[in-house]
Every structure is written in structure tokens, then in C-alpha cells.
Amino acid sequence: MNKPPPAPDRPRRPRSVTRALAYPYDVPDRSFVIHAGDVRPVARDADLGDLSGRTPVIACGSNQSPSALSWKFAMPEDGAVPVVRVRLNDFDSVYSAHFAGYGSIPATLHPAPGTTVTLFVNWLTDTQLTRMHMTETGRGNYVYGELADLRMEAEFGPAVTRAGAYIGARGALAIDGRPVPLAEIPATGRGHPALRQRDLIERLLSLHALADTVEAFIQRNIDDEDERARRQEMLRARALPFDYPAFRPMA
């Protein structure tokens, strides 16, 4: 009996200080469709293709980025992913209370009454959603669930009042008791100062009286899993829980 050919290897996600500091990467200013690394801008609803049977999933960090999505859905057989720019009311993209294996502090969605944040929605097939779960929930850093009663305006496609989202399992990172928005993510009505990755890590080094440089701190996050876990507990001690009654955890 002939054996089936082995599945092709997926590209490995690079780990470097440069990559960590670049988070959330190349967030575009318009909707797009990505397929095996090929990015096509969306000019009308028809460019999205058939969205029936797909799940809308809010992207608040690097899942808005074509380069990040191209690592996750690199193979032609992964299919096309429509990615729609949206304006979401009463939420913001803030830093999560954990370190990613590639060294940076990633984003999570967090309630923010009065704030309107510009994000993206990935429209995923069941197979694509399973693949996304593998990349987001495998280390226990995020919980996937459904958000209801959303007030969202989409650039293209149907109105969305319910959507999936990956929520930081350890809560939102807090400085002085307040969440910290990502400066690269546009929003109006923010009540707290937004920071870039480098600025945030500099604040943490100062707050915890650590003598590391930003680059050395990130490199150790990448190289030393035990130290990364210890530092995560440092963030978790002051984290803010996700409090939104219309959230239903699913995975």
C-alpha cells in the first residue's frame, strides 16, 4: 500500500529582538484578502468572496497583519482569508499580561467604555479557525470565545454584532491600575496613554528596578522559558480581568 505524501513543512516563525519590537507589525489601513502570502486589497463587498459558513473573529494585535497571517496560513491549501477593517465601540486593543515565546508583550481586547478602536475581523472557515486556535490557545495564553451585543461598523461585508475573539487568559497588563493601549492601533476617546512595545518595556524595567537594556530583556524572554514564566507572574500580579457579561468562552 502506498503511503500518502508527508504534509509540507510550515515556515517557522522567526524569533528575534527586532521582530519582538516590531509587534504588531504591518497593520494596513484598508481591508484585504490574503491567500498563501498574496495580499489583495478590497474595494467592494464582492472582493471578499462568499462569507457564508465563515466565522468572524476580531483581530486586535498581530492577526491584523498580513505578514503574521502569512505565517499562519502559508499553504495554498489553507485557502483565502478575508480580513475586514472595522470600528469597534467600547473596546480597545491593550497589552496582555504575558510574554509571547518570541519575546514581546502581545495584545488582547479589553472593554473600554467611550473608546472606538479601529481593528480587523478575520472571516475564517472551520478549518482556518482550527488552525488559528493552534497558534493562539496552544500555550494557554488566550481563551477563545464569542462576544455578543457588539457595536461595530465594518468597511465591507455584513453587519457584525457577534464575533469570536482571543482574550488574554491572564488579563490585561496594568500600569498604575490602568490598561495600556497599543500606540500603533488607532482609536478615539482613549482614557489612558498608549505606548509602543519599546516604551512599554522601558516602563516595566523602570517600575521593577531592572538593570537590563530593552534588547537584553527581550532576548532573555526568547531564550529562557523559566525566566519568561517568572516575569509573567510579575505582570499577572497586577493584571486586570476581562469583564464583559456578553462573552461566552468556547475553547
Q: What is the pLDDT of residues 42-89, one digit of tens each?
A: 999 999 999 999 999 999 999 999 999 999 999 999 999 999 999 999
CB-based contact 186:194 (threshold 8 Å): no
Query: Which domain covers residue 96, as residue numbers?
Result: 17-239
Classify residue 247: in a domain, yes or no: no
Classify residue 71: in a domain, yes or no: yes
Q: C-alpha angle 194/196/198, rounded to 5°?
A: 140
CB neighbour burial string for 174-209, b if at least 16 within 10 angstroms, e if fewer: bbeeebbbbebbebeebebebbebeebbeebbeeee
Give the count of domains, the chain. 1
Classify residue 139: in a domain, yes or no: yes
What span, in angstroms and rounded, lies between the C-alpha atoms of 47 and 31? 10
Tens digits of residue pLDDT in 100-146: 989 999 999 999 999 999 999 999 999 999 999 999 998 899 999 99
Classify residue 4: in a domain, yes or no: no
What span, in angstroms and rounded, lies between the C-alpha atoms of 37 and 120? 18
What pLDDT score does 217 carry?
94
Classify residue 5: in a domain, yes or no: no
CATH at 203: 3.10.490.10
Classify residue 251: in a domain, yes or no: no
